[in-house]
Amino acid sequence: MDVLVANSRFSTVHHTLTFHFCSAQCRDRFLEIPALYTGAQRTANILPIPKRRNLRIATGSPDALDDACRRIQTLMGVTSVSAKGRRLRVDYDLRQVSLHQIEAEAQGAGITFSGGLHALQRSLWRFFEHNELENAAHAGTRACCSRPPTPH
């Protein structure tokens, strides 16, 4: 996305270069995994990474749940969000938004997610999402979580 520097309210410095962003969400996403945006990639290889998560809700009023759905839907990359009973289903593009950002929006609306095994499951999802993005960032170098990048 093209961002006019004069209009940019969101920026960060990475390896002595200043990057400007259209929103705080985009800046935060960049800070999570800068290699995804600064590495050499062919445009044809930049495809969505679709995810669907069913999140179990421990506490939150119906109004808080409605607010959480509205807040999550405004995040770039979220394609759908729905609540049914004590569950929140979210479909999103991992290249644009992470589970961590989605959880933060829901918690900001007053939703608390279930603990125990579901908390462990969400932790694993976040871990795997980060690995998947790291692999996508280094796709051209043939790097993987089990082998280092090959020199060019």
Could you tell me which residues come within 8 angstroms of residue 96 by beta carbon, excluding any fewer than 6 positions away?
29, 75, 76, 77
H helix and E strand count, the chain: 5, 6
Instruction: Pick the closest to residue 110 from 55, 72, 64 (CA basis).
Output: 64
* pLDDT, tens digit, 9 for 90 and up, residues 89-121: 999 999 889 999 999 999 999 999 999 999 999
Tokens 């900001």, residue? 108
Query: How far apart (Å, rounded) are the C-alpha atoms in residues 136 and 47?
Result: 10
pLDDT for 12: 82
User: With a threshold of 0.95, does the pTM exceed it?
Assistant: no
Secondary element (H or E) of residue 30: helix 24-32
Mind listing the domains of the chain with CATH numbers? 5-45 (no CATH), 50-137 (3.30.70.100)
